[in-house]
Amino acid sequence: MARPRQFDEEQVIRAVRDQFWDAGYAATSLEDLVRVSGLGKGSLYGAFGDKHRLFLRALREYTDTSGGYLREMLTSAPRALDALRAFVMAPVNDPGGAAARRGCLMANSTYELATSDPDVLAEARRTYEATTAVVAESVGRAQDEGDLPRDVDPVETARALLAAQQGLVFMGRTGLDIDTLTATARTLAAKLLPDA
């Protein structure tokens, strides 16, 4: 055997992910990555490959983590309708609005890179489809529980909810104050998820 790694791979990926999240892909230099990871350039390359592969790895970490949160959010509430409300409200579920201003790493990356980077586009589609599927499942449950009308297509409703949520994320990125954003989130939730 030989010398073992002196760093925690997951910890480095999380630090790198946060850097990309805050500054975007192009605006993050290798020097930034060296700084936040605490590793040297050589180690970074040896362990993760070049900047692009490192970014994809960080992006995957993000989608895995937030995918986990999403499943938890959708299954933890006693009633599926409440879980769907929480899903729409998620972008404003942060007192200071810091999360709203930071936005969603997947959305940020899609806007920055989807037209030029097939790997990012593929990851975006994968995440989008997975999210639609799990939300649609909750819509179905809400129907079973008698909280949503039976005459709507769960997948179609899920897409509308996802669009609403991402629209809120966009408005958060424009720096809209958190109170106004919260009010809009409530309006959207009320219109798309009527009590009937």
Partner DNA sequence: GGTTTGGTGGACCGTACGGTCAATAATTGC
Partner DNA sequence: GCAATTATTGACCGTACGGTCCACCAAACC
Q: Cβ-count burial of 9 within 10 angstroms (0-12 exposed, 13-18 middle, 19+ buried)?
A: exposed
Q: Which two tokens stand for residue 171?
A: 């408005």
List C-alpha distances in Å: 89 to 2, 136, 168, 175: 50, 17, 9, 17
Check binding of 128 to a copy of itself (CB under 8 A): yes
CA distance 105 to 123: 12
Nearest alpha-carbon partner for 61 in 99, 103, 12, 110:
12
CA distance 26 to 158: 32
Site string for a copy of itself, 27-56 (x = CB under 8 A): x-----------------------------
Q: Phi and psi for 63 in degrees, rounded to 5? A: -65, -35
Nearer to DNA, 36 or 90 (CB): 36
Check binding of 63 to a copy of itself (CB under 8 A): no
Positions 116 through 145 that interact with DNA (CB under 7 A): none
Stretch binding DNA (CB under 7 A), from 3-11, 88-96, 114-122, 124-132: 3-11
Stretch binding a copy of itself (CB under 8 A), from 38-46, 64-72, 73-81, 157-165: 157-165
Decide: 20 and 58 in contact? Cβ < 8 Å.
yes
Positions 73 through 102 that interact with a copy of itself (CB under 8 A): 101-102
Check binding of 46 to DNA (CB under 7 A): yes
C-alpha 18, offset from chain centre: 13
Give the one residue of 22, 43, 111, 159 binding DNA; rule: CB under 7 A: 43
Positions 12 through 41 that interact with DNA (CB under 7 A): 28-31, 39-41
Helix axis angle, 51-76 relative to 41-48, nearest 10°?
60
The residue ranges that bind a copy of itself (CB under 8 A) are 22-24, 26-27, 101-103, 107-108, 110-112, 114-116, 121, 124-125, 128, 156-157, 159-160, 162-171, 173-176, 180, 183-184, 187-188, 191-192
The residue ranges that bind DNA (CB under 7 A) are 1-7, 28-31, 39-43, 45-47, 50-52
